[in-house]
Structure 1
Amino acid sequence: MNLPLRLPGSPAQEPTTIGGYVLAISKALQASGVDSTRVLKAVGVPLTMTNDPLSRLPVSTLTRLFRACVDVTGNPYFGLTVGRFIHISNLHALGYALAASADLMEFCQRLERYFRLASQTCEIKVVESDHALSLHVRLLVDVCAETEDAFFTFIVLAMRQLYRPDFNPLRVALSHPQPGEGAAPYEALFRAPVSFGQPGPMVALPKADVHNPLIGACAELAQLNDNLSNTYLARLEKGDVVTRARQKIIEFLPNGSCTRDKVASALAMSPTTLQFKLAERETSFHDLLDATRKELSTGYVRQSALSITEITFLLGFSDTSNFTRAFKRWQGVSPTAFREGAKPASA
């Protein structure tokens, strides 16, 4: 049974996933020799689903669809098959931003920030240790095993495509039980130890690989799609004050007038109300402004066409010395040193 997802201050509503997942499922059915149109109609899934972030499917419907697919194909590993057919375009702006990430660290951080655009079923947290970078998934609702399998398959295969074909995670943990037919297909795909029935799904990556460049790295494209992801999230999560405030901060920063009063006015509330609502989410306007500037700053600095002075004003700082001090606090090095190849300090 799927539990309702509630954002603080919003009415209960069932979480949804982007329609692009349906396109990947359809391709997986066709590859299995099954008429996808017949299955979609039987489950009641609209045939008009697209990659548009606002074209959404309720999680309960997605679960019914996956169960029907397993029944009709007789494949207990159908989720792994679907993961092979998820293309970056199925995740819209998030997918294109992932493809343009500078390294696996940025790739993972984008999943953490923007995965709600693809699915509202979970929260993703990046955890860094001495030897590994891990993506931990906190499920907000019950999801079927196929949903979990498709997600981790897509993540690992995308990393291999963007980084190296021989790249392997250190380990993968899944919350669902091991299929009765065994774990061999999982181990063959992930080429890593896989555990089942774990409290929280996760994938651990070798720390030595996470700062190496990806083949599609393009800071400008990544930044454009990050901004587009923020815009769509603000439209999708109208009751989420953090998402809406962040979108307005991004909009106002280049004008040099990004204040709490202005953001509150744009959200049709008083500054006091905004601060109260942010406090309910365990943050503040100052913290949100600082975090947003930090997220934007590395993408801007990686764009060689932008001077440090231009970046200073794009981020709403009054002068370059203020920006440089803030960047050193965030990354441990100056913007110039970062641009010249100095690795950022651990977050």
Structure 2
Amino acid sequence: MSGLKADTPTDGVEQSLREDAQQPTAIGSYTLAIAKALEASGVDSARIFQVVGIPMDLSNDPMVRLPTTTLTRLYRACVEVTNNPYFGLTVAKFLQLPHLHALGYALAASGTLMDFCRRLERYFRLASQVAKVSLTEVDGKVLLRFEYLVELSGETEDAFSGFVVRTMRLLYKPEFSPLRVELHRPMPREGAEPYEALFRAPVSFSQVDALLVFDKADLLQPLSGSCPELAQASDSIIIGYLARLDKSDVITGVTQKIIEFLPVGDCTRDKVASAMCMSPTTLQLKLSQRGTNFQQLLDDTRKELACSYLRQAARPVTEITFLLGFSDTSNFTRAFKRWTGLSPTDFRQQA
């Protein structure tokens, strides 16, 4: 095993793990794909995990997290024992949507690949805290950008970018490919051929950010596996986990409480502030520091939920009205026209 020792974790490893505790984290179930990639390479994954000090029985609970520095050590060991500089691309073959818990189910149920990308932009933090994801449109192209907040292993970048493209093909069509790919990592000495074979697009290395560029027309095509009900339910679960994961994120916390209180028709700033154990004035101050306010978050959340509910053909408008905390359908209709320029009925027909 190229010099790797299979002893139990030493005091040095335990110290490293304690130091890692303050680092950005990734969902622990991600390591299930790494274990499968090791086994497919003829390597005893349990032995490697033991060396690095990672338990093999990590659950699929998104609150079970691993520091990214620990994952970097794991990848370093994997590349060494497999002698495979493209090991991250191998992991991409084994990384599956359920490994991302509710985020995976939300992605799978998306109506279009544009919805898929928007969910990555909003909720990527549940999978990993190493990057900020942004989505922009330029001249008929859609740019999905990963701005890395910390240095990370090239294998981590390879695995997730490969997973994104492979999953898009699974949901849309096998021949789908990005227009081009940019990676932050340097190109392996052995060359770029495995990347070009996977992405079927030009690939550049040593870029500031990672970037996947797509044809907008492809991203707007309806997906056969679309399920608005599952997507909306999964989105709500994600928001709840994100509020637990980062208690200092006041916007996520307020959004979670708004979703919780809307159906009972009593969603006020005072009630949300009380549920978050702060005064209304403190809540407003924290929101203003983030460039928003309670009413804006209330409107944004209602709009997003309304669009999601209206895509669910079985939900009558009267039910949606009360789920969003409106007293009658005329008030909901006026608000929805203000948000979208369409009536709920017209929006549902177009959707």
- Decide: shared fold, TM above 0.5: yes
Deviation of the 1:194 alpha carbon: 1.1
Deviation of the 1:313 alpha carbon: 1.8
Deviation of the 1:341 alpha carbon: 2.8
Structure 2 CA distance for aligned equivalents of residues 116 and 143 of structure 1: 15
Q: Structure 1, residues 167-207: CA drift from partner, whole Å, max 9, x if none?
A: 11111111111111111111110011111111111111111
> How many corresponding residue pairs?
331
Aligned partner of 2:290 in structure 1 is: 281
The answer to whether structure 1 residue 150 and structure 2 residue 159 are counterparts is yes
State which of 103, 107, 120 in structure 2 corresponds to 1:94: 103
TM-score (norm 2): 0.91
- Unaligned stretches of 5+ in structure 1? 1-11, 343-347
Q: Which amino acid aligns with 2:250?
A: V
After TM superposition, the structure 1 stretch with the greater mean CA deviation from structure 2, 92-101 or 199-208, is 199-208
Q: Which amino acid aligns with 1:183?
A: A
Q: How does 1:198-209 map to 2 (within 5 A)?
A: 198-209=207-218
Contact 1:100 1:219 in 2 (8 A): yes
Structure 1 CA distance for aligned equivalents of residues 222 and 238 of structure 2: 23
Deviation of the 1:332 alpha carbon: 4.4
Structure 1 CA distance for aligned equivalents of residues 331 and 209 of structure 2: 41
The answer to whether structure 1 residue 80 and structure 2 residue 89 are counterparts is yes
The answer to whether structure 1 residue 22 and structure 2 residue 22 are counterparts is no
State which of 237, 256, 259 in structure 1 corresponds to 2:268: 259
Deviation of the 1:13 alpha carbon: 3.1
For the residue of structure 1 that corresponds to 2:198, the secondary structure is helix
Aligned partner of 2:304 in structure 1 is: 295
Deviation of the 1:139 alpha carbon: 1.2
After TM superposition, the structure 1 stretch with the greater mean CA deviation from structure 2, 58-67 or 232-241, is 232-241
Q: Structure 1, residues 139-176: CA drift from partner, whole Å, max 9, x if none?
A: 11111111111111111011000111111111111111
State which of 256, 272, 282 in structure 1 corresponds to 2:281: 272
Aligned partner of 1:172 in structure 2 is: 181
Q: Structure 1, residues 254-292: CA drift from partner, whole Å, max 9, x if none?
A: 112211111000000001101111122222212222222
State which of 51, 62, 65 in structure 1 corresponds to 2:74: 65
Deviation of the 1:330 alpha carbon: 4.0
Q: Kindly name which structure, 1 or 2, has the bigger radius of gyration based on alpha carbons.
A: 2
Q: Which amino acid aligns with 2:86?
A: Y
The answer to whether structure 1 residue 246 and structure 2 residue 266 are counterparts is no
Aligned partner of 2:8 in structure 1 is: none
Structure 2 CA distance for aligned equivalents of residues 71 and 294 of structure 1: 50
Deviation of the 1:329 alpha carbon: 4.4
Aligned partner of 2:133 in structure 1 is: 124
Structure 2 CA distance for aligned equivalents of residues 259 and 68 of structure 1: 52
Contact 1:117 1:233 in 2 (8 A): yes
- Unaligned stretches of 5+ in structure 2? 1-20
Deviation of the 1:113 alpha carbon: 1.3
Deviation of the 1:302 alpha carbon: 0.8
For the residue of structure 1 that corresponds to 2:91, the secondary structure is helix
Aligned partner of 2:9 in structure 1 is: none
After superposition, the CA RMSD in angstroms is: 1.5
For the residue of structure 1 that corresponds to 2:56, the secondary structure is coil
Aligned partner of 1:111 in structure 2 is: 120
Q: Which amino acid aligns with 2:191?
A: G
Q: Structure 1, residues 101-152: CA drift from partner, whole Å, max 9, x if none?
A: 1111111111111111111111111112331122111211111111111111
Q: Structure 1, residues 7-53: CA drift from partner, whole Å, max 9, x if none?
A: xxxxx932110011100000011111111001100011112212210
For the residue of structure 2 that corresponds to 1:13, the secondary structure is coil
Q: Which amino acid aligns with 1:100?
A: A
For the residue of structure 1 that corresponds to 2:332, the secondary structure is helix
Q: Structure 1, residues 33-79: CA drift from partner, whole Å, max 9, x if none?
A: 11100110001111221221011111110010011111111111111
Q: Structure 1, residues 281-330: CA drift from partner, whole Å, max 9, x if none?
A: 22221222222222222211111111122112212233333433443444
Identity %: 63
For the residue of structure 2 that corresponds to 1:128, the secondary structure is strand
Structure 1 CA distance for aligned equivalents of residues 76 and 332 of structure 2: 52
